[in-house]
């Protein structure tokens, strides 16, 4: 199961992953976008409309329940599938908001997502994401932005899709962790260091959406930046209490 930020490369990564694994791919996002187009709405308008009309979510939910019940080995691209596919490896992709906006702006011929500038794309993506977040909180009691919902978190800001797929395959082949302990791979350029975090060893970060702040491991972080690394393993500090989770 794969989901993530808008503009995080879910489609590219999920297509490549399905090909690598030799399984079928299903995209709930594609279905949702077709429904938006059929209603003559932009993606943001359709999100807002979905807050008022629960028939849309009910239809999508039933589709996901049916797919999950089939038992077929699949790659599912969906922002809420982690809630329905309880036994699956749950992968969450993140990316810098400006990078996401540029990616979406670069898509052509899409009447559902059509923006005039990076700033407009960034604002609309943020609006869509918050609309979804509030809808999911209200209807399902879950917060899609909590990284502890997932088994693997991977940052696509600078990493090539092939690198991301490799990390996911590694997690599939060597399952580790629990739903409260995601394996995290971040772009070191997105982690804010502090003067007090000069210890050696693993990088420990605290997530303050949409930013990551290093609380330990600044030397390793600095070395990764100097080496031009695009993904580094980090330990995520608990999102509620600051305790480390792995």
Instruction: Give the architecture-level CATH label for domain 2-145.
Output: 3-Layer(aba) Sandwich (3.40)
Under 8 Å between Cβ of 76 and 2: yes
DSSP state letters, 173-199: HS----TTS-EEEE-GGGEEP-TT---
Under 8 Å between Cβ of 156 and 94: yes
> Whose structure tokens read 């082949």?
173
Closest to 150 in 3D by CA, of 5, 51, 11: 5
CATH 3.40.50.300 positions along the chain are 2-145
Under 8 Å between Cβ of 164 and 12: no
Q: Is the per-residue pLDDT at 113 higher than 70?
A: no
116-170 confidence digits (pLDDT tens): 899 998 998 898 888 888 888 988 898 988 898 899 999 999 999 999 999 999 9
Closest to 196 in 3D by CA, of 225, 224, 221, 218: 218
Under 8 Å between Cβ of 7 and 103: yes
Instruction: Determine the 3-state secondary structure of 158 from DSSP.
Output: coil
28-73 confidence digits (pLDDT tens): 877 777 788 887 887 668 777 777 777 777 777 787 778 777 878 8
Under 8 Å between Cβ of 233 and 183: yes
């Amino acid at each position: 199961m794969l989901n993530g930020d808008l503009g995080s490369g879910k489609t590219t990564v999920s297509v490549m992953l399905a090909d690598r694994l030799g399984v079928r791919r299903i995209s709930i996002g594609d279905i949702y976008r077709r429904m938006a187009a059929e209603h003559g709405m932009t993606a943001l308008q359709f999100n807002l409309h979905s807050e008022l009309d629960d028939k849309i979510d009910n239809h999508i939910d039933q589709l996901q329940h049916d797919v999950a019940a089939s038992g077929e080995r699949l790659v599912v691209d969906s922002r809420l599938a982690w809630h329905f596919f309880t036994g699956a490896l749950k992968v969450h992709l993140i990316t810098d908001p400006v990078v996401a906006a540029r990616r979406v702006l670069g898509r052509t011929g899409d009447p559902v997502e059509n923006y005039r500038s990076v700033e407009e794309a960034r604002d609309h993506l943020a609006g869509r994401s918050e609309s979804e977040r509030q809808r999911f909180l209200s209807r399902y009691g879950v917060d899609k932005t909590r990284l502890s919902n997932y088994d693997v978190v991977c940052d696509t800001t600078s990493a090539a899709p092939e690198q991301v797929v490799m990390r996911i395959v590694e997690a599939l082949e060597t399952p580790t962790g629990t739903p409260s302990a995601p394996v995290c791979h971040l772009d070191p350029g997105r982690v804010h260091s502090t003067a007090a975090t000069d210890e050696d060893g693993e990088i420990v970060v605290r997530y303050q959406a949409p930013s990551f702040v290093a609380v330990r491991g600044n030397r390793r972080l600095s070395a990764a930046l100097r080496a031009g690394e695009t993904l580094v393993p980090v330990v995520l500090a608990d999102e509620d209490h600051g305790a480390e989770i792995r």
